[in-house]
């Protein structure tokens, strides 16, 4: 009998030893952040020789594609450099962040885009947070006033793109991401117009952008005279009625931020509804990195969007701190899975490869055949942010 028990115990021990132990998340986070710092230091070296330009992606041949400061993603690379400097205290990264941030300053006067939050708050905002440089604050306040000029009072939204056939005043769900910039300006100045614009835009978007299942249309266009909805469509999703993945997570992130900034329960409720839609969706892959559209044709043999996974992870980490009951653990569990997936060889590049970007396999606009299965600066930005947020929790 003793011999039999011994053999059973011995076999069980061998089984445990043969099982691959999961690496601790804190180690994964530190390794991914250290890699990101090295990779973006290489990118900074390349960009120093390209005056006035910012990295955007790579083409099909792996050649770096850049943009000028007016492209909507221009603020993500300097913002990532600031965050990686915050992590590493590497002065080289700080110097690069200062240089790349300076390349965007002129956009403070740009009244032709809704993306000034992405462009200025991610770059100058992180710089101001870490240095307290008052000139950065001045740039952002000018930019926030420029953004405010795009608010259409009779509609209750900030106009996104210019008018075109069928769209008099198009508003995209992405615009929720630029409201944090206005709330920052309100907190800095006490000017309630910033607050009113952000809250009104958020409320109008809840009313008109979301379906009964809490998925969102990409584009809602309004009649400029009556203020009524004239169209609900998509520009980057698989179909007008589909759930374009990055659009869903823009909404999740945006309402999480708006709850943080206002304390209004309706924004927390909206964020929770969106999170639950995403987490429980039957087409959410096992590794929790979404397909480019939750209703894309060809699932599971279609592209993933690492940028959607990174944005979602960052939002869920923050939302877990506000959600009650068992949702805190649920949201953190999903975010942990996403960070593990993004930090794996399936999505994380090798040093010196991938055009010196950090993540592989993002999708800009598949219908337009633009930036499909490539690295993107905003995927990297929100991945770094998510890593830092989870690291703060672990500490």
Write the pLDDT tens digit of every residue in 252-291.
Answer: 999 999 999 999 999 999 999 999 999 999 999 999 999 9
Taking residues 136-152, what's their average pLDDT? Answer: 98
Section 93-115 average pLDDT: 98
What is the mean predicted confidence (pLDDT) over 128-143?
98
Overall average pLDDT of the 132-138 stretch: 98
Predicted local distance difference test score (pLDDT) of residue 20: 57
Confidence of residue 116 (pLDDT cuts 50, 70, 90): very high
User: Could you tell me if 176 and 254 are in contact, meaning their C-beta atoms sit under 8 angstroms apart?
Assistant: yes
Which of these is catalytic: 174, 293, 305, 380?
Answer: 174
Residue ranges of the alpha helices (H) in the chain? 2-18, 25-48, 76-88, 91-102, 116, 126-131, 134-148, 179-189, 192-209, 245-262, 265-279, 306-320, 327-342, 377-394
- Cβ distance 119 to 107 under 8 Å? yes
Catalytic residue among 59, 115, 240, 373: 115
Which strand (E) or helix (H) includes residue 230?
strand 229-233
Per residue in 324-343, pLDDT (tens digit) is 889 999 999 999 999 999 99
Q: By percentage, how much of the chain surpasses pLDDT 90?
A: 94
pLDDT confidence of residue 10: 45
Instruction: Specify the pLDDT at position 6.
Output: 45
- CA-to-CA distance for 292 and 243, rounded, in angstroms? 9
Is residue 12 predicted with pLDDT exceeding 80?
Answer: no
pLDDT score of 16: 41
> What is the pTM (predicted TM-score) of this model?
0.95
Whether the Cβ atoms of residue 354 and residue 375 lie closer than 8 Å to each other: yes
CA-to-CA distance for 79 and 82, rounded, in angstroms? 5
Q: Quick: pLDDT tens for 198-257.
A: 999 999 999 999 999 999 999 999 999 999 999 999 999 999 999 999 999 999 999 999
Residue 39 near residue 349, CB atoms below 8 Å: yes
| pLDDT at site 325 | 87
Which contiguous run of DSSP H or E holds residue 67? strand 64-67
The yes-or-no answer on residue 115 being catalytic is yes
Question: Could you give the CA distance from residue 173 to residue 219 in angstroms, rounded to a whole number?
Answer: 7
**Residue pLDDT, tens place only, 295-306:** 999 999 999 999
Model pLDDT, residue 21 = 81
Q: What is the pLDDT of residue 14?
A: 41
Write the CB contacts of 39 (distance below 8 Å, at least 6 apart in sequence). Answer: 349, 351, 352, 356, 357, 358
Helix (H, G, I), strand (E, B) or coil at 95: helix
Average pLDDT, the chain: 95
pLDDT digit string, tens, across residues 154-175: 999 999 999 999 999 999 999 9
Active site residue 287: no
CA atoms within 13 A on the CB side of 251: 32
Rounded distance between C-alpha atoms, residue 385 and residue 211, angstroms: 29
Given a cut of 80, whether residue 1 has pLDDT beyond it is no
Q: pLDDT category, 120, cuts 50, 70, 90?
A: very high
């Amino acid at each position: 009998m003793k011999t039999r028990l011994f053999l059973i115990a011995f076999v069980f021990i061998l089984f445990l030893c043969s099982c691959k132990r999961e690496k601790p998340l804190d180690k994964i986070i530190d390794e991914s952040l250290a890699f990101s710092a090295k990779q973006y230091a290489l990118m900074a070296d390349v960009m120093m020789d390209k005056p006035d330009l910012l990295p955007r992606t790579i083409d099909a041949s792996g050649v770096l594609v850049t943009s000028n400061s007016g492209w909507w993603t221009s603020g993500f690379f300097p913002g990532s450099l600031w965050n990686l400097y915050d992590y590493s205290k590497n002065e080289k990264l700080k110097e690069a962040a200062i240089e790349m941030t300076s390349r965007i300053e002129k956009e403070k006067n740009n009244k032709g885009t809704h993306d000034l939050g992405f462009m200025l708050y991610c770059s100058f905002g992180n710089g101001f947070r870490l240095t307290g440089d008052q000139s950065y604050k001045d740039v952002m306040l000018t930019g926030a006033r420029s953004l405010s000029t795009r608010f259409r009072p009779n509609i209750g939204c900030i106009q996104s793109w210019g008018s075109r056939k069928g769209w008099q005043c198009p508003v995209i769900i992405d615009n929720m991401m630029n409201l944090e910039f206005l709330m920052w300006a309100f907190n800095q100045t006490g000017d309630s117009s910033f607050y009113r614009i952000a809250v009104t835009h958020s409320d109008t978007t809840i009313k008109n952008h979301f379906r009964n299942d809490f998925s969102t249309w990409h584009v809602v266009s309004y009649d400029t005279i009556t203020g009524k909805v004239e169209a609900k469509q998509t520009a980057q999703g698989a179909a007008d009625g589909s759930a374009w993945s990055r659009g869903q997570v823009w909404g999740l992130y945006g309402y999480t931020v708006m709850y943080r900034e206002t304390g209004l329960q309706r924004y927390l409720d909206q964020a929770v509804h969106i999170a639950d839609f995403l987490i429980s969706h039957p087409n959410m892959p096992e590794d929790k990195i979404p397909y480019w559209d939750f209703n894309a044709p060809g699932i599971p043999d279609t592209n993933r969007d690492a940028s959607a996974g990174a944005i979602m992870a960052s939002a869920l980490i923050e939302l877990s701190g506000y959600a009650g009951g068992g949702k805190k653990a649920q949201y953190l569990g999903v975010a942990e899975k996403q960070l593990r997936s993004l930090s794996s060889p399936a999505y994380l590049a090798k040093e010196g490869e991938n055009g010196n970007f950090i993540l592989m396999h993002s999708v800009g606009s598949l219908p337009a055949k633009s930036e499909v299965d490539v690295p993107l600066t905003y995927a990297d930005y929100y991945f770094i942010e998510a890593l830092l947020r989870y690291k703060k929790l672990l500490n």
